[in-house]
Structure formats: C-alpha cells, structure tokens
Amino acid sequence: MRLLEQPTRLLFFTGKGGVGKTSLACATAVALADQGKIVLLVSTDPASNLGQVFGVTIGEHDPIAIPDVPGLYALNINPEAAAQAYRDRIVGPVRDVLPAETIKGMEEQLSGACTTEIAAFDEFTGLLADDAATAKYDHVIFDTAPTGHTLRLLQLPTAWSNYLDSNESGASCLGPLSGLAKQRQQYAHAVAQLANGDATTVVLVSRPQKASLVEADRTSHELATLGIVNQQLVINGIMPENGSHDPLAVALREREKAAILSLPTALVSLPMDQVPLQPRNMVGLAALRAFLSEKSDALPAPQSATPPVPLSLPPLSQLIDEIEKDQHGLVMVMGKGGVGKTTVAAAIAVDLAARGHAVHLTTTDPAAHLSMTVESTFPNLAVSRIDPQVERDRYRQHVMETKGQNLDEAGRTLLEEDLRSPCTEEIAVFQALSRVMRESKEKFVVVDTAPTGHTLLLLDATGAYHRDVVRNMQAGSHAVTPMMRLQDPKQTKMVIVTLPETTPVLEAEALQADLRRAGIEPWAWVINSSLSAASPTDPLLVARAAEERQHVERVQKSVSLVAIIPWLTQEPTGSERLLELSRSKAESCVST
C-alpha cells in the first residue's frame, strides 16, 4: 500500500456511502498503530459505525483506547449532538430574557440541516485547531462523511467568510452571526491544514465501478478548486483473478477492468492503490489487520461457504404494479450516494412509460447521471434535471425583481446580503421541485432525489414553507402545501434504496427516521444489487452473499413493503436493460 509508505500526519478518507471508506480508515489506523505510532481515529460521519467495527462503544467527547491495539484511540463526532449543543449555546443565555415568541423564532431558525452542518464543522475545526488536544498523536485519521456532506463542510469556510465579511444585519438562516464570527480564525486554520500537502492527505475511496469513479473524479475537481490537491485514490473491492468461471464473477471482472481502463483524467494522475474484494464485512481486528496486508493468507478463511438462503422478496415490478393503480402520482426515490438510486428511479419511470403512462423523470441530485442511464427518446417519457446553480441564480433574480423593486438602496443591499446565504440554493431547488410536483396531479412524476443531507435540506425548506402558509391562512380557508402532498401516501410514494451492506442499511434507516420526524412515512424499500438474489457459484461471491443475509433480514423486519433487485451481469443502462432490471426476480437458491 503506497498509502502506508510515507503517510502524512493528517489523513482524510472520503467517498460515497458503501465504498468501504470506514473500513479503509480503520484498517489504516490499526496498521499505523501496529507500526508503533500513536494514532487518533475520528469519525465525522452522521452514520458512523466505528463502534461496530471495533466492538466497543466509542466516546463523543474524549477519545477512548481501542483494546488490543496499543497506541490507537478513537472518537466519534456526533453531528446531531453537536447541533443540539450549538442550539443550547446560542439560545440558552437569552431564553429567560427575550419574549417567548422571539425564542420560538430563534429555535425555528436553528432547526434546519444548516445548523447541523455548522455544528459538526464547528467540532471538527475545533479539534484541528486545538494543537494541545492532538499533540500526542503521530497521526490523526478522519473517517469523514460521504462525499456530498464532506464537500459542504469543506466549502463552508469560504462561504461563511464571504458572508460574514459582507453581512452587517445579523439576520441569517445560519443563526446569530456572533457565534460564527468568533470562529473565523479557527475555520481559516482548518482550511489551511487541509490544503497543506506536507501535513495532510485526502484519500478518495471508490469502488471499481464507472459511476463511483465519476463521483470520485467530481470530488477531486471540487477539492482542487478549494486548493486541496494533496489527494490519493484507493479503488476498493476489486474482484480477484481466482480462476472462477462463474458468469457473475467473470462479468464483474470485465466490468471493473473496463471502468479502471477508462479512469477520468484527473484520477489517472493521482497516486493509486487497489484493494481486492473481501469475502466478509470488515468487522473485528483480525479482518482489519488482514485487510491491507500483502500476504495472500493473511485474511482469515470464511467460516463456511454457506449457499444463499431462498429469497421470497418480490421484484421491483411488483412495486410498480402498486404505483400504477393510482394512474398518476409522485414517486420520490431516495437514498445515500452509490446505492443505485438513479438507476432505480429510471427503472420505475421507464416501466411505467412502457405501460403507456405519461411519465416525467427528473433529478435534483447534483451528482446524478440520468443522461448516462436512460435515453430521453423513450415513448411517453420526459427526462429533465433541476440544476441547483441555475435555480439559485433564477431565484435570486426573481426575488430582487419582486421583493426588491420597491426597496430603497439600503433595503436592496440588505436583501442581497440575505440571498448570499448558503441556504438560498436549497430553497431555490425546492421551489423548482414544487413546480414539477404539481404535474403529478395528471401524470406520474418520478424524482431522483439527492443524497440524504441534500434531501433533508429540501425537506427543511418544505417545512418552513408549510409553516409559513399555515401561519398566514385566513380562517376557514384551505390550502395544500408541498409538505402536505409529501405526507399524503395517496399523492406521494417515498421509496428508499439501499444495498445489502452494513453502512448503506444504517444510512437508510437514518433517512427513514428523518422522514418520520417530518411526518412522512416511507412507502417501500428497494434492496439493490443483491448477490444472494443472483445465486453466485464463485466461493468469494458465495461468502459475500451469505454476509448479505443479516442485512436483508434486518430490512424485512423494519418495513412491510420491500423489493429486491439481483446483481446483474450487465450495466443497467438504457431502457431495455432498465426494463430487465425492474422485472428481474431473485434466482431460485439452494436451501441450506
């Protein structure tokens, strides 16, 4: 592993959910500690599972020593807890001083996902800036949140600095600015640390899949625009050449080779490591120590190559049968990046269109690749993309031309300052989405939403709009807000997509909990790319399929409506293969 040859003091692991980021961060931390280094491993991921990997409870305030790994310590930064502490710090001192209505307004102002982002970043930069807190460690390794979340965290210092420089009003969706202004030096220090190649390496983790590598390339570009060019690439989970003639194994190898041979230009120039696919989840010290070892016999053999259990879950087409019964409606497909959300959304849309229904397929995901997934010429199907930057500019212009037209110069300046808020883009995207949602009264609208953090920001905007409409309604009048439409299962069906793996399932459960807090009950789950549903014969894939069983059963216990999509030998791109995907059933499996 080139990564372990001359590691910098700070290592940041980033990538889409399910690429193995946490496993690689943990294995790297163990490897460095085994070399005699003193190492601190920090998770800033809202869906952190460090405790599960090491089999111990990880603290959120003070690092704890990991048993049986001398020199290794671990710490979880919990964004939700940090957000609550941040709210208490801002509101607490004035709770008994200001009027109750004012306090209520402040709490609503601080209830959004922006506050969580701010609070988590506050904790993260506080650790980076506290030389005394990290002085004893030779290395500090960050298991960061998935790509979109991380990028927002990294971009915030610049946005905040610009905003704080120009905002004199103190009014902002970010909350009272005094709490932020005090941290400016700390944020500047954090960005300088991230961009310092002598001190820091950003490790881009990707699966050997085209979409995953495209996402890594996008991340690399966006980091570079922030001056962070000290990057390395790790391609994790490559199917080894083991002589197997299993059609699934052969197809997997061929697909991965093609993806790596066509690496985006920016990634080709980066130092790169390739890590083979493992037969089990990386839980426990033995598995972590063997993960990055170059010894062929380092990894403990699977306990048994248990054949996949029979699966009784229905195919995606059965969910589509239920959707079709309403003849129209809104279908929102949600999930963390990398789980195949765009593919599932496109498959639902194409299948409904093939049945003769008018369908509008759209995305609000900045990383979406609908044009790579389905052709726009398919009968009955319209395909579009809501561009966040375009919508932000359009929203700013509209607000200035309407609300700003009768303001004096000072008022327009104040309004322009408010529109520089990082939340403006989210509000603008939500407004564009609301326009599309209205089409669902007469046709099917399938929305490929953004990863969780982005989605929750949209829902926050929905909630704020909903509360504003309800607050200003005349007595006896009736209105249907977008939030009401999202909460009504007759109008909206929320579909959560996951992979049958630890992190994606945990992240999907967190998303489901967030939806329920907003009064929205998910309608169904889709388990995508299941090896156990494809009945492999290759020993490594059989072992991986056996590992899936616990995750499939966990999903079945938590929701009533679940569909499964087998791992397919062909990339599901184009209308013909999307139809095959939606109608593909789990293979008949061998019972144990």
| Of 22, 125, 200, 452, catalytic | 22
Is residue 18 among the annotated active site residues?
A: yes
What's the CATH fold of domain 316-470+479-582?
Answer: Rossmann fold (3.40.50)
Confidence at residue 414, expressed as pLDDT on a 0 to 100 scale: 66
| Of 28, 45, 317, 341, catalytic | 45
Is residue 336 among the annotated active site residues?
A: no
Q: Is the pLDDT of residue 137 over 80?
A: yes
Backbone angles phi, psi at 287, to 5 degrees: -65, -40
The predicted-structure confidence for 458-469, as pLDDT tens digits, reads as follows 455 555 555 555
| Of 15, 17, 20, 463, catalytic | 20
Q: What's the CA gap between 386 and 427, in Å, rounded?
A: 13
Q: What's the CA gap between 528 and 525, in Å, rounded?
A: 10
Is residue 59 among the annotated active site residues?
A: no
The predicted-structure confidence for 580-589, as pLDDT tens digits, reads as follows 888 887 654 3
Q: In the 8-state DSSP scheme, what is residue 322?
A: H
The predicted-structure confidence for 51-109, as pLDDT tens digits, reads as follows 878 888 887 778 999 999 999 999 988 777 777 777 787 778 778 877 777 776 666 66
**CB-neighbour burial class of residue 170 (10 A; exposed 0-12, middle 13-18, buried 19+):** exposed
Q: In the 8-state DSSP scheme, what is residue 197?
A: T
- The encoded tokens of residue 504 equal 């994606």
Is residue 23 among the annotated active site residues?
A: yes
**CB-neighbour burial class of residue 332 (10 A; exposed 0-12, middle 13-18, buried 19+):** buried
| 29 vs 215 pLDDT, higher one | 29
Q: Is the pLDDT of residue 176 over 70?
A: no
Q: Which regions of the chain carry the CATH code 3.40.50.300?
A: 2-163+175-292, 316-470+479-582
Looking at the DSSP bridge assignments, the partners of residue 494 are 332
Q: Is the pLDDT of residue 155 over 80?
A: no
Q: Is residue 520 classed as helix, strand or coil in its secondary structure? A: coil
| Of 14, 16, 17, 18, catalytic | 18
Is residue 22 among the annotated active site residues?
A: yes
Q: Which pairs count as long-range contacts for 246-251, CB under 8 Å and 24+ apart, including other chains?
A: 246/536, 246/537, 246/538, 246/541, 247/569, 248/531, 248/534, 248/536, 248/537, 248/538, 248/541, 248/567, 248/569, 249/536, 249/538, 249/540, 249/541, 251/569, 251/570
Q: Using an 8 Å Cβ cutoff, are 287 and 278 in contact?
A: yes
Pairing of strands 359-363, 329-334: unpaired
Q: pLDDT-derived band of residue 114, with 50, 70 and 90 as boundaries?
A: low
| Of 14, 23, 147, 449, catalytic | 23
| Of 244, 455, 503, 532, catalytic | 503
Q: In b/e form, how buried is each residue of 89-114, taking b as 16+ CB within 10 angstroms?
A: ebbeeeeeeeeeeeeeebeebbebbb
Q: Is the pLDDT of residue 5 over 80?
A: yes
- The encoded tokens of residue 200 equal 């820091």
Q: Using an 8 Å Cβ cutoff, are 260 and 235 in contact?
A: yes
Which residues, 6+ apart, have CB-to-CB distance to 354 below 8 Å? Answer: 378, 379, 380, 575, 579
| Of 15, 17, 21, 364, catalytic | 21
What's the CATH fold of domain 2-163+175-292?
Answer: Rossmann fold (3.40.50)
Q: Is the pLDDT of residue 421 over 70?
A: no
Mean pLDDT of the chain: 79
